[in-house]
Structure 1
Amino acid sequence: MPPKSADSASLTTHQNYIRQSLKCMSGLLFGLYFVGALALMFMALHLNNTSREQTTFYVDKAVESRKLTLESTIGDYAFWGDAYTNMHVSVDIDWAFNRYNLGGAMYESFGYEGVFVIDANDNNIYSVINDVLSDSNSMSSWLGQSVDRLVQQARDLAVDEEVVSAVIALDGHPALIAAAAFTTGGDRNVEELPGSASVLLLVDRLDSDELIALGENYGISQLRIPTDTTDASKAPSITLETYSDMPIALRWDTPRPGSNMLLWFSPIFALGFLLFVYITRFNLRATLAAASKADRSHNESKRLQAELALRANHDSLTGLPNRSLLEERLRTACYEAQQGGIHLAVMLIDLDGFKPINDNFSHHLGDQVLVEVARRMLAIVRPGDTVARMGGDEFIVILPGVSDQHAVSAIAERLLKDIADPYLIDTINLRVTASLGIVMSNGHVEQPLQLIQQADSAMYQAKQEGRNNAFWFTEGLLHQASEITSLRNDLQKAIEEQSFELHYQPQIGSVGGKVVGAEALLRWTHPTRGSISPAAFIPVAETTGQIIPLTLWVLDTACRHLRQLADEGINLPCIAVNISSMHLLRANFIATIRAMLDKHGLQAGQLELEITESVLLNHADRALLTLQQLKEMGVNLVIDDFGVGFSSMNYLKVLPIDKIKIDRSFISGVDSNLQDAAICQGIISMAHHLNLRVTAEGVETQGQRELLAESECDYLQGYLFAKPLSFSDFRVFISRVNQTPA
């Protein structure tokens, strides 16, 4: 047998090497495939468990929400002067039942099957069952159990106008029962009678249909009471503790997304495995002929080089020109405008509210929105125009050869309209708007990039004026930007040199007229511009982040002054400091407050933090957690400028606050404007019902003081008592006022 040639031996060696390599790779891929299958199974199990936990949470929430609605309803009727007059001692059937005050309306409007009144001698004197006026003493036979203990608890809570509720078993179904003692509700026109209070009871029976409807409101399928032993043994379920110590179990059908996912993916995995075997065998043959594909490799290399060149000048996500290509086209447009005596326009477009999409959904979803925005913009501009992505959610549009501002405005309006249309991404309906800055030029600029800077200034002004609009660049914007930059630099120098002063405006008790606290107010005297209003430099500080060191200085100085007053024997219960939402959301804010109190040896209750309701507009969960931790420390929390926000009333339910400050815009007309007086009285009454104290700021006249005192406002603050005082003057003021007999 003749010896093998060198080429033949080399080919054999290459084949063996390829075979061994493919075996190793196949083993590795099989292992990864197996790990992926296990991961999928664990993921399915996790999804099922998560679904069960979520539905359990929503079932609890559904029952609790139903109970809170019942408690709120009975409170509205029991703590009502008319109900006290007509139902407390003796029942006015005509008022209660015939006139729908405590009769059919309770069943038709709220679905409450039972309405009962228990008099001071524990007699059932009024019964409405399933919208039918029933005989007295029918309550016990209908309920099948005694509720004397619940009635007594309601009487015990009558002073505080609180409601007591429980779950009972009624005809084999759960029912919510609430009890509240009749009170005058603070109605001064209703005389309060001596003796034990009559008690109103409402019963909300949750039969099978109502349980199903209740569950569907929270995305729960077939919420029910188990019908047999098999059904009762299935998970998930919750147990309702009842008034009679006979627990009731609730069961529902839980989605199993993990199991469904496995049903979908199992065939895919099986098919993938078969494809894996086939492809491995195919690759074994194909790779042996790799030498004949050298020319393809060369062509592929050229293709990759061309793709890299394209990526160097285009955005990888949207395919739009990137910054480098944009600058080149902007220089070309400026040159052509100079040579041809024409104009060009530059637009800078920034999306409004885009960041929450990434935060609340996913960056993948946000990327798809950016791709769709780019597509819509390209559909509007002319063939010779340029749409480029600057990065993030900023885009640049270059419009060469435009005739006048009207043509540019028409394009800008179309851009704003099309961008604001809904985006349906992965079955999710999203909306974003845009703020647009526009600048026109004849091309005679020192640096073409100045046009982008000018468009950026105009865009910022568009955001300041409400977003979702366009703003044209003017020379005044340059001056404004220069002023802000100068103020920011001077502010930083003032922070480094601590050239600020803290003034205090006293807060006076409406009863007794003594100083009960003070608000710390920051003052800055510029070396050349004189006194600068906080309204001018605080917004700049919040934009640049300088508000953090500023607030730290205010906190430290206020605590130091409070400690100094205490050491001198001057009693000042607390000092209030305004806190920005940016600082409140810092991770170390709680530790900062604790360190300040420890440093100056103060109790937490000696410090008040004033916040505005805007703290909940972004990152509400984190803000609420921080406020709750401050509350647990004992720090007093105050809502400042109450009444001017769009949802102040709603925030009172969730914010763990101690006090509210009525905005000065209501106080200024409280003694001359009936609406302002009514608003103030309403706020004070509502706050007191929520166990909150009230401060009125901006009190400037004796008439305002007298009316607020009559309305039982707790504290007063304003020029009537004192303007903001330096620390030395404030110390004298406290000593003088608090030593003066009331």
Structure 2
Amino acid sequence: MSQREDTTVVEVKQQYHYLIIEDAEGQRKFLLDAATYSIGRNPTNGIVLRSQLVSRQHAILLRVPVPKLSSHMFRIIDGNLQGKRSKNGILIDGKRCFSHILAHGNEIVFSSDTRAYYQVVSHPSELVVPGDTDADEPYIGTQHNYKVNISDTDFANYNAEALARLASFPELNPNPILEINFSGAITYLNPAATKQFPELYELGSYHPLLKDLLASATELQNGDREMFTREVEVNGLTFEQFVHYLSGSNLIRCYVIDITERKRSQEIIQYQAYHDALTGLPNRKHFSDYLTNALAESATSNEQLAVIFIDLDRFKSINDSLGHDFGDLLLRGICHRLREFLHDDDMLSRWGGDEFILLVRNVASADLAFRLAQKMLKAFEQPFICAGRELYVSASMGISLYPFDGDRVDSLIKNADTAMYRAKQSGRNSCQLYAPQMNESAFAKLSLENSLCQAIERDELVVYYQVQVDMASARISGVEALIRWQHPEFGLLSPDRFVPLAEETGSIVTIGNWLLRAACMQSRAWQLEGLPTLHLGVNISTHQFKQPDFIDRLTDILTETQLDPHYLDLELTESIIMEDIPENIQKLHKLRDMGINLSIDDFGTGYSSLSYLKRLPINVLKIDRSFIKDINTNNGDRAIAISAIALAHNLNLRVVAEGVETREQMELLRSLKCNEMQGYLFNKPLPANELAILLANQKDS
């Protein structure tokens, strides 16, 4: 039998590959225009066999290119790609096969009731359907006149290589696979590679996938490495290229995976991990890492660094009054303004909430760092425009310097933070350079804070009472309850030592409720002892008044202590009342309906509006001690006192003057018709037992 070495395609035309299925439900034709098909009774298969006698995935159909010809054929493989065979196997023209390259006219039997016929035609009209009585030619299987005739010898050299590739199914792989020899020539591209990189053959070694590949792959050929990966940019996309050596064929094989989306996701995740979501500034982690690197560099270059800790003043009031949306807009505006002070190597970070932190590199002196902070404070004087509204906010800043104030990240940040708190204590809207003694003060504050949390449990809080004297009768008409802390180490502490700390930590609500209960209980006890009935004044903090259950708690305390509400006088500052006027007026009316008296404490120091003042259901105005101190010598203080007393009388309110210490002050206030006074002229604050003696003496006189 002579060999036909050049026998290839008899008729070189476009070819159509069909699979005609016959099963229990009839006959169907499939045009095979994809690279692969799964065949079986599972509805997810590309070609579904409608028979219960076949496997769920019975066979795989693979498109196989014919070398040197612009043509292809199909190989059918029994079972699935994981190597699991079908339960019946497949018969090709009556012979059982595991893998077979189909030829035109082949009959494929899957089961007793399911078979298929493979045909290759140059036009769909030439398709011969088995059993079609109207066809020009009867279907007689493999004896039909093929349109494509490929001899066995054409596949002789190809089969071994094709089968090797089919072992790993590169034709099916959705990711590009390519092979080159050590001359740089492309020896194989799978369909995905051809589609993704059509310019590979044209560009050759200049293509990003092949550029410098041979130089790196030589190590694989020498056995120095088993494989390597690299990232390659092609047409704006990022690919990961896995490169390994095929020793059997002395080729380089590359698997290429598009990781563009993965890289973008990683970049987003990386960005989010190191940046603040609201402002886009570096976050704590990023700042700490950057400062760590800067310290390492400065250790060898003798560079000085400054860390500036920035905390906004009263930012919470903006959030509470205008809402968090305005607060967020303000934070973005502040971020934008502070960025104007950055140099190339500096870093501004949002530390959290309303706190920012700035690293300034190459600082020549502490004076320059201080002047920079002052410039930033100056920038806060201009309003921030948020949704068309002008907002004003100031800041407090603390500065620490490397290497003078620390040589570690934590110490520099902590010391800058400590200096910032000292700036707040000094009146806010200022900056402070760190000094070592600040840490001693901070430690004492922390110790006090920890002790304060347990002061109630340890029964360390006590109540002192300062008398209020009625000018008409010259007798004690009321008392103001003042809290004290009997500290086991520091002795008796006045409110100014711990109340600001309690407000800062939030424990003021618990302490305020304790004071209210203790004072009401004591007032009722004096009444039961037959002592003169007095008005009881109790200061209410902002945090306490804002509690949604404030009135409920107060009602419970009055019920528990059995104190008549008419004898209770709640003292509120102007700032508390004016902060949320409609809601507060409603709450004040509820308190007045209960019979409770209401006083505006420290009148004249806040920002109350006279138009609102007349709408408030208050009983008493208390003139702040700051206007009483120099009332006899300062015309301004005297004018304020005269105006306040006249205003109160016009609104039918009682007037109480605080801080009266001299007889001259008393006589002047009496001449101005001030109703009541309190201060050291009459008595210092007394504990309950001493005040009881004083009241008993008044009763007997």
1:576 to 533, 537, 552: 537
Query: 1:353-394 CA deviation, whole Å, 9 max, x = no partner?
Result: 544555555645544443443344333211111222223332
Query: 1:583-632 CA deviation, whole Å, 9 max, x = no partner?
Result: 11111111111111111112211111112112145444443332222122
1:609-688 counterparts in 2 under 5 A? 609-616=570-577, 618-647=579-608, 649=610, 652-670=613-631, 676-688=637-649
- Determine if the alignment matches structure 1 residue 538 to structure 2 residue 499: yes
Q: CA deviation at 1:497?
A: 1.1
Change (3 A) 1:354 1:532: closer
> What is the CA–CA distance in structure 1 between the aligned matches of 2:671 and 2:389, rounded to whole Å?
54
Change (3 A) 1:313 1:654: same
- Determine if the alignment matches structure 1 residue 386 to structure 2 residue 347: yes
**Which position in structure 2 is the counterpart of 1:506?**
467
**Which position in structure 2 is the counterpart of 1:717?**
678
Name stretches of at least 5 consecutive residues in structure 1 with no aligned partner: 18-288
Amino acid paired to 1:509: D
- Determine if the alignment matches structure 1 residue 732 to structure 2 residue 693: yes
- Determine if the alignment matches structure 1 residue 490 to structure 2 residue 454: no
> What is the CA–CA distance in structure 1 between the aligned matches of 2:390 and 2:667, rounded to whole Å?
54
Change (3 A) 1:422 1:644: closer
**Which position in structure 1 is the counterpart of 2:284?**
323
Task: Tell me which moved more, 291-300 or 652-661.
Answer: 291-300
1:598 to 559, 564, 567: 559
Q: CA deviation at 1:424?
A: 4.0
Q: CA deviation at 1:714?
A: 1.8
Change (3 A) 1:595 1:519: same
1:157-172 counterparts in 2 under 5 A? none
Query: 1:655-692 CA deviation, whole Å, 9 max, x = no partner?
Result: 32101122233434455666655543432222111010
> What is the CA–CA distance in structure 2 between the aligned matches of 1:15 and 1:368, rounded to whole Å?
55
> What is the CA–CA distance in structure 1 between the aligned matches of 2:433 and 2:310, rounded to whole Å?
12
TM-score (norm 1): 0.57
- Determine if the alignment matches structure 1 residue 313 to structure 2 residue 271: no
Query: 1:1-45 CA deviation, whole Å, 9 max, x = no partner?
Result: 74235967669979999xxxxxxxxxxxxxxxxxxxxxxxxxxxx
> What is the CA–CA distance in structure 2 between the aligned matches of 1:405 and 1:704, rounded to whole Å?
49
- Count residues with an aligned counterpart: 468
> What is the CA–CA distance in structure 2 between the aligned matches of 1:461 and 1:444, rounded to whole Å?
16
> In structure 2, the residue corresponding to 1:390 is in which secondary structure?
strand
Change (3 A) 1:528 1:405: closer
Change (3 A) 1:292 1:375: farther
Quick check: 1:504–1:727 contact (8 Å CA) kept in 2?
yes
Query: 1:550-579 CA deviation, whole Å, 9 max, x = no partner?
Result: 222221221111211222222313211111
**Which position in structure 2 is the counterpart of 1:447?**
408
1:242-391 counterparts in 2 under 5 A? 298-355=259-316, 358-359=319-320, 363-391=324-352
Change (3 A) 1:665 1:388: closer
Query: 1:404-425 CA deviation, whole Å, 9 max, x = no partner?
Result: 1233234323433445544445
**Which position in structure 2 is the counterpart of 1:408?**
369
1:460 to 418, 421, 436: 421
> What is the CA–CA distance in structure 2 between the aligned matches of 1:2 and 1:493, rounded to whole Å?
86
**Which position in structure 1 is the counterpart of 2:490?**
529
- Determine if the alignment matches structure 1 residue 474 to structure 2 residue 474: no
Change (3 A) 1:547 1:299: closer
Amino acid paired to 1:322: N
Quick check: 2:521–2:563 contact (8 Å CA) kept in 1?
no
Q: CA deviation at 1:305?
A: 2.0
Q: CA deviation at 1:633?
A: 1.2
Identity %: 38
Task: Tell me which moved more, 372-381 or 657-666.
Answer: 372-381
Amino acid paired to 1:470: C
Quick check: 1:348–1:437 contact (8 Å CA) kept in 2?
yes
1:116-155 counterparts in 2 under 5 A? none
Quick check: 1:437–1:473 contact (8 Å CA) kept in 2?
yes
> What is the CA–CA distance in structure 2 between the aligned matches of 1:418 and 1:652, rounded to whole Å?
35
Which of the pair is proportionally richer in strand? 2
Query: 1:178-216 CA deviation, whole Å, 9 max, x = no partner?
Result: xxxxxxxxxxxxxxxxxxxxxxxxxxxxxxxxxxxxxxx
Query: 1:235-261 CA deviation, whole Å, 9 max, x = no partner?
Result: xxxxxxxxxxxxxxxxxxxxxxxxxxx
1:395-434 counterparts in 2 under 5 A? 395-434=356-395
1:84-123 counterparts in 2 under 5 A? none
> In structure 1, the residue corresponding to 2:591 is in which secondary structure?
helix
Quick check: 2:575–2:608 contact (8 Å CA) kept in 1?
no
> What is the CA–CA distance in structure 1 between the aligned matches of 2:302 and 2:629, rounded to whole Å?
59
